[in-house]
Amino acid sequence: MRFRSLRSRLLVAIGTLVVALTGATLTYVGRLASQAVTERVSADLLKSRDTLVAAHEARYERLTLVARLLASFPDLLALFGTNDAATIRDFLTDYRERNAREELLLVLDQRGTVIARSDTFAPFVLPDAVSRWIEPAMAGRPVRGVVDVDGRAHHVVLVPAESGGMVFGFVAAAAPIDDRWAAALRDASGKEIVVLATAGLTGTTLAAGRAPWANAAAFGTADGTRPVDLGGERFEALGVADPHEPGLRVVALQSLDLALAPYRNIQFGLVLLGLVAVAAGVGAAFLLARSLTAPIEALSHATGEVAAGHFDVKLDVRGEDEMAALATAFNRMTDGLRERADMQKFVSQSTVEMIQRGPSTPETRAGSRQVITLLFSDIRGFTAFAERRPPEEAVAALNRYLTLQAELVQRFRGDVDKFMGDAVFAHFTGEDKALDAIRCAVEMHKAVRQAPLADATLPPLALGIGIVTGEVIVGSVGGADRLDYTAVGAPVNLAARLCAAAEPNETLLNDTTFEAVRGLVAAEAAPPITVKGFTDPVAPYRMRS
């Protein structure tokens, strides 16, 4: 095609150049996005390994608690001598019904023969009972593993039933490795889960027939992440072995295509901007096209920066034309996004959610009654440390310890209400709020103790923690111009008082919290204490870490 004017040839050349540059940018951005997402997903999967291992250990610990509690009952110890399978099974069944337990319970004699089981009268033989289970239990070692029960793999824990140094027999507690267990692992890790045993697939959160592996051998034992295609959707997969049964493998999966979706939207926006730039270049003179190209490229780059979470990006505003107005609007937008991101750091997540629900009303400001679990933690010895250190060093150490605690509160589905000096006030909701708070407290003690080992600049400190479950008023507190969305009530004061009374590396619980987790945690009754603001002495329960 011939062009009669230089302007026409220049416009075509500019249009072609813009198209080529836009295509190259999209290809480069797409390649970088794919690489970045793959690396992020792989890193996230590797981080989930510890979560999955911890979930297995937590399950074994729960089974151990159940088995030890059952093995300590005098009535059951007396039944060992009778060897009456029917009576022992009735005892097990009654225990499960009265305590709403779902575990499979087994009673074995001293030779490892199963006398009775809680679910059926059908006989059951524990494989390698003496060498694999009885002898380690008699040696005082934890006995854990995976056993096939009626065609279904189970996590099993065995403990001796003893009294006065005499072993009467053994009690085993088991839980099935099925889709429910896979769903629990998904909730803990945030990943899709496939559980593979030597015999085959035992549990999954994927749709039926979507798992590509028939058994653990088909997946293999190679460490690290690997790509997997599931029906046209790309995933990264990571295999994690059961800590007590290497033949059982948990596969965590995360979708690459889902993670790439936001970047696809950015690419689509860049395509539209490229088409606009081409149309402008064809419809305007060479200088006008050139003057439009630079701001468009700057806007494209700035959009990518904002999409990546960098809100400090600024566009230069030149002149008073439409491009200048667009740059001004973009700068106002990034200012607003940055202010919003910064403000969210100074309020709790519950406050953010309250604001997102809409304008406050007299009803919302009045608050609502809720039964929640409150956690107060205080850093012991920090004031003395701060007096001996420059303010900058003291604040840096404080922020590090507060960050450790805040991350653990978030991991255990809690919400940090506020920081008060070197103290943390958090609350937990949901069905397992008390157990979540206690687990969080245990991990907080551990994290604070171990922090100086990883960073020699941090001082060796300890925490005192108070945990209370009770009914509080949750709502907006303050004046017309300054509100604080928080929890108010006697349980809040009690949690703070228990925190103040706790020794270093100690957690004090109120009786309501302990009753909610009785049988699941190890705590001892502490002497009653007089608490300011409460008429009667409070009898807490103590946990040491």
Domain presence at residue 14:
yes
Number of folded domains in the chain?
Answer: 3
CATH of the domain at 133: 3.30.450.20
Same domain, 431 and 298: no
Q: For residue 182, what pLDDT is reported?
A: 92
Select from 321, 344, 367 the last residue of a domain.
344
Half-sphere exposure of 170 (CA within 13 A, CB side): 26
User: What is the phi/psi pair of residue 133, to 5°?
Assistant: -125, -55
Select from 222, 241, 258 the last residue of a domain.
258
Domain presence at residue 19:
yes
Select from 344, 364, 392 the last residue of a domain.
344
Scanning 190-255, the segments in alpha helix (DSSP H) are 216-219
Region class of 288: left (phi > 0), else alpha (psi between -120 and 50), else beta: alpha
Same domain, 96 and 26: no
The answer, as to whether pTM is greater than 0.85, is no
**pLDDT tens sequence across 506-525:** 999 999 999 999 989 989 99
Q: For residue 344, what pLDDT is reported?
A: 44
pLDDT at 349 over 90: no
The DSSP bridge partners found for residue 172 are 106, 158
Percent of the chain with pLDDT over 90: 39
Range scoring the smallest mean pLDDT among 16-30, 37-51, 143-157 = 16-30
Scanning 314-432, the segments in alpha helix (DSSP H) are 322-344, 349-356, 362-366, 382-388, 391-411
CA distances from 470 to 371, 417, 538 (A): 5, 16, 14
Q: For residue 346, what pLDDT is reported?
A: 44
Q: For residue 449, what pLDDT is reported?
A: 94
The confidence band for 407, taking pLDDT boundaries of 50, 70 and 90, is very high
**pLDDT tens sequence across 228-280:** 888 888 999 998 888 778 788 899 998 888 887 777 777 667 667 666 765 76
Same domain, 125 and 229: yes
Angle between the N-to-C axes of helices 391-411 and 433-454, in degrees from 0 to 180, rounded to the nearest 10: 140
The confidence band for 319, taking pLDDT boundaries of 50, 70 and 90, is low
Domain that holds residue 244: 41-258
Q: For residue 345, what pLDDT is reported?
A: 43
Q: For residue 425, what pLDDT is reported?
A: 95
For 257-296, give the secondary structure using H, E and C: HHHHHHHHHHHHHHHHHHHHHHHHHHHCCHHHHHHHHHHH
Domain presence at residue 1:
no
Q: For residue 348, what pLDDT is reported?
A: 44
Helices then strands (H, E): number in the chain? 16, 18
**pLDDT tens sequence across 446-463:** 999 999 999 988 999 999
Same domain, 145 and 50: yes
Domain presence at residue 506:
yes
Same domain, 263 and 253: no
pLDDT at 123 over 80: yes
pLDDT at 109 over 60: yes
Half-sphere exposure of 440 (CA within 13 A, CB side): 32
pLDDT at 433 over 90: yes
Token duo for residue 515: 């009753």
Query: What average pLDDT does this structure show over 87-103?
Result: 89
The confidence band for 291, taking pLDDT boundaries of 50, 70 and 90, is low
Range scoring the smallest mean pLDDT among 10-14, 162-166, 358-362 = 358-362
User: What is the phi/psi pair of residue 379, to 5°?
Assistant: -80, 115
Same domain, 398 and 292: no
Query: What average pLDDT does this structure show over 40-57?
Result: 88
Same domain, 49 and 185: yes
Between 129 and 476, name the one with better pLDDT.
129
Same domain, 393 and 516: yes
How many CB atoms are closer than 10 A to CB 358? 8
- The answer to whether the beta carbons of residues 151 and 139 sit under 8 Å apart is no
Angle at 285 between CA 284 and CA 289, to 5 degrees: 70
Task: Give Cβ neighbours of residue 280 (< 8 Å, ≥ 6 apart).
Answer: 288, 289, 292
In 3D, which of 158, 152, 85 has the Cα closest to residue 123? Answer: 85
Same domain, 253 and 266: no
What is the DSSP track for 76-105?
A: HHHHHTTT-HHHHHHHHHHHHHHHT--SEE
The confidence band for 290, taking pLDDT boundaries of 50, 70 and 90, is low
CATH of the domain at 510: 3.30.70.1230
Token duo for residue 194: 């496939």
Between 43 and 24, name the one with better pLDDT.
43
Please state, rounded to an integer, the average pLDDT across all residues of the chain: 82
